[in-house]
A = this chain, B = another copy of it.
Amino acid sequence: MNSSPAKPPSPTTTQLCLTALPGLPLIGPGDDLSGLILEALARAGLSLLGGDVLIVAQKVVSKAEGRQVDLARVQPSPQALQLAQETERDPRLVQVILNESKQVLRARPGLIVVEHRLGFVCANAGVDHSNVAGEGWVLMLPQDPDASARRLRADLERASGAGLGVLIIDSHGRAWRTGTVGVAIGVAGFPALLDLRGRPDLYGEILMSTQVGLADELAAAGSALMGQADEGRPVIHVRGLPYPLRDGSLAELLRPRQEDLFR
């Protein structure tokens, strides 16, 4: 639709540009995701520069890593059978959700909210059955999204010589707001949490407790461009982040359980 870019900014202007990489094929187990990303970057006329960030949809990482599960091969446990009845879901799907979870926090028809084994709270343990080829197959999150992000980053840095950040993102619901938003579930070379504590504000007062979930903010930005139904935009290139890159990880974004007021 409207995709004519903004004019080049004046030198004092800060501009953040997100570009959806064109022409990525449907991804399957064993595909070389970093190779496909490099080809798509070339197709878009983009050379990677230091400070650039790649935002990658969880689904394509999971598919490349073979995280599909054939429900026909899943044997539901008594716990899964009971939770399936309570939530009106397929007991085999519920078993996959339980396998991926530390704890079930809430359950109601159509929804199971869990603490994922990776430490975040989300619906249905991120297990998805849309956009998975094959009747009766579902897709789990990557085994270790931080490690997936680190591998992608290493491949892309090796190919480009540029220092990069990589975010692997999923869409999560929120406790009190409708709609999903993109959040980071895997982080490499990116300041997941940006600590502005102790910096003076414009009037010289010290900011007391401002920590920004920068990886989640950028994940949301990427998600706005990706869409949901259209898996044709699963990788977003970002240029112009107004903060320096550094090492980072998902763990920065997880609220310690003892600080959790709402579990």
Contacts and interface: CB of A to CB of B under 8 A. Distances in A.
Contacts of A228: 196, 207, 210, 212
Contacts of A121: 175-176
Contacts of A51: 1-2
A2 B200 contact: no
Interface of A: 1-10, 12-23, 26, 43-46, 49-51, 106, 108, 110, 113, 120-121, 129-133, 171, 174-183, 192-194, 196, 199-203, 205, 207-214, 216-221, 223-225, 227-233, 237, 239-244, 252-255, 260-263
Given A9-B19, A15-B5, A224-B16, A193 B217 contact: no
A42 to B, nearest CB: 11
- What is the interface of chain A mostly: helix, strand, loop, or mixed? loop
Nearest to A21: B13
A188 to B, nearest CB: 18
Contacts of A214: 179, 224
13 contacts: A5-B15, A13-B22, A16-B224, A108-B261, A175-B176, A177-B216, A180-B210, A180-B211, A180-B213, A214-B224, A218-B221, A221-B224, A227-B242
Given A14-B19, A242-B227, A217 B5 contact: no
A172 B26 CA distance: 36
A171 to B, nearest CB: 7
Integer count of this chain's copies in the complex? 2
Given A45-B9, A180-B212, A237-B6, A17 B20 contact: no
Given A178-B253, A211-B180, A132 B203 contact: yes
A113 B220 contact: no
A222 to B, nearest CB: 8
A52 B173 CA distance: 27
A70 B8 CA distance: 43
A1 B243 CA distance: 7
Nearest to A45: B7
A68 to B, nearest CB: 13
Given A16-B224, A181-B220, A10 B43 contact: yes
